[in-house]
Amino acid sequence: MGAHRGLRDGLLPDRGFTLNQEACAAVPSPRDSSLTTRTIPNAMAFEGRRQTAAGGIDPNASIGRREAAAEDVPSQQVFDSHSLMWDHGKGRELPVAAREADEAAAVIARYARRHGDTQRYSLLSPAALLATQERQRAIADLFVRLGWLDLTDIRLLEVGCGTGGNLLEFLRFGFKPEHLQGVELLPASVAQARLVLPASLRIMEGDAAGAAASSVPEASQDILYQATVFSSLLDAAFQQRLADTMWRWVRPGGGVLWYDFTFNNPRNPDVRGVPVERIRQLFPEGRLQVRRLTLAPPVARAVTRLHPTLYTLLNTCVWMRTHVLAWVAKPK
């Protein structure tokens, strides 16, 4: 298909996405920025700066494997591959199967504890709006680089689609509603998504790694999208199962589109930053390109109260960005 020419031919290196299968960056939706905002304290942004400066990473250069690891695995954020849990001090010793079964229920409980998200993530907040627009530009840039100038034939499935904000954005990009699908765990979010999205856009309710989306054929999707879902999954085995499911759904030549934050918030044990090295572990067969974006939300909220242009100004410092937009290409 002509639309897939860019993937076959590879991408040209530039300031954003690069060819070296590793590095790079992009923007959030209302809910992206919401999660972002409450997740990344100033302290972590400054931790990121220290490490980045020490590693000498050029904001505009592609990030090599070792450099990306240095930038994205801060000392507070240790992935414990032996216990298969993020080491955040809970010390639970459950068998893997029990932990995985637990995790979907635990996500529901964590979201039930959340309050005050709506206003924080509202597009009427300059910080949320600017972060959303930044991510949209980065995604558009990626599609162009992939050679997907006409999206009407491209099929995309979003895991953890929330209330459907991202799928609405993809409709505006030019996807056909019947080529878009979402899976979402929370019934209230599913109901809201179905209200705002066209009926021909299928929203499935339940655990994306479980039976909810078992009707999705293997290799049927060009793009599997996740935005700030993996950072809310604290069980590493469950993360891997969801990643494996997503990978099966992607056709060779397509890929996983990933937007999530990379730093922990010591004040919020319900989320966990996902370093670039972890994305690589989750999709070992993928070719990873990463682009860093999103001004640290607490900073963004503070400075946009003074003037919205300060978002753009401070965001030129790559170490002030807390998220990555990653494209994990599935080889043909």
Ligand X SMILES: C[S@@+](CC[C@H](N)C(=O)[O-])C[C@H]1O[C@@H](n2cnc3c(N)ncnc32)[C@H](O)[C@@H]1O
Q: Is 236 in the site for ligand X (CB under 6 A)?
A: no
Say what the alpha-carbon torsion angle 247, 250, 253, 256 is, to the nearest 10 degrees: -60
The answer to whether 166 contacts ligand X (rule: CB under 6 A) is yes
Q: Is 31 among the residues that bind ligand X (CB under 6 A)?
A: yes
Residue showing the smallest CB distance to ligand X in the complex: 160
Phi then psi for 270, rounded to 5 degrees? -85, -10
Q: Which of 229, 288, 293, 310 binds ligand X (CB under 6 A)?
A: 229
Q: Which of 26, 138, 209, 293 binds ligand X (CB under 6 A)?
A: 209
Among 68, 167, 186, 326, binds ligand X (CB under 6 A): 186
Q: How far is the CB of 29 from ligand X (least distance, A)?
A: 5
Is 32 near ligand X (CB under 6 A)? yes
SS (H, E, C) 227-278: ECCHHHCCEHHHHHHHHHHHHHHEEEEEEEEEEEECCCCCCCCCCCCCCHHH
Asked whether position 23 contacts ligand X by CB under 6 A, the answer is: no
Which residue of 6, 16, 41, 160 would you call a contact of ligand X, by CB under 6 A? 160
DSSP 3-state of 15: coil
Q: In DSSP terms, which residues pair with 295 in a beta bridge?
A: 321
> What residues form DSSP beta bridges with 305?
none
Among the listed ranges 38-46, 73-81, 226-234, 318-326, the one in contact with ligand X (CB under 6 A) is: 226-234
The distance of closest approach from Cβ of residue 278 to ligand X in the complex, given in angstroms and rounded to an integer, is 16
Are the CB atoms for 59 and 316 separated by under 8 Å? yes
Which residue from 29, 132, 265, 322 is in contact with ligand X, where contact means CB under 6 A? 29
159 near ligand X, judged by CB under 6 A: yes
Tokens of 38: 């409450």
Binding to ligand X, residues 73-132 (CB under 6 A): 104, 107, 111
Residue 207 binds ligand X (CB under 6 A)? yes
d(CA 194, CA 168): 11
3-state secondary structure of 205: strand
Nearest-5° angle of CA 92, CA 96, CA 100? 90
Q: In whole angstroms, how close is the CB of 145 to ligand X at the nearest point?
A: 22
How far apart are the C-alpha atoms of 231 and 329, rounded to whole Å? 21
Identified binder of ligand X from the candidate list 40, 208, 243, 329, rule CB under 6 A: 208
Binds ligand X by CB under 6 A, chosen from 67, 72, 184, 277? 184
d(CA 300, CA 282): 30
Q: Is 47 in the site for ligand X (CB under 6 A)?
A: no
Under rule CB under 6 A, residue 235 binds ligand X: no
Q: How far from each other are the two terminal CA atoms of the chain, in whole angstroms?
A: 13
* CA-to-CA dists, residue 30 to 2, 111, 121, 255, angstroms: 33, 16, 5, 24
Nearer to ligand X, 62 or 232 (CB): 232
Size of the chain, expressed as the number of residues it contains: 332
Provide, rounded to whole angstroms, the least separation between the CB of residue 241 and ligand X: 9
- Residues at the contact surface with ligand X, assessed by CB under 6 A: 29, 31-32, 35, 104, 107, 111, 159-162, 165-166, 183-186, 189, 207-209, 227-229, 232-233, 242
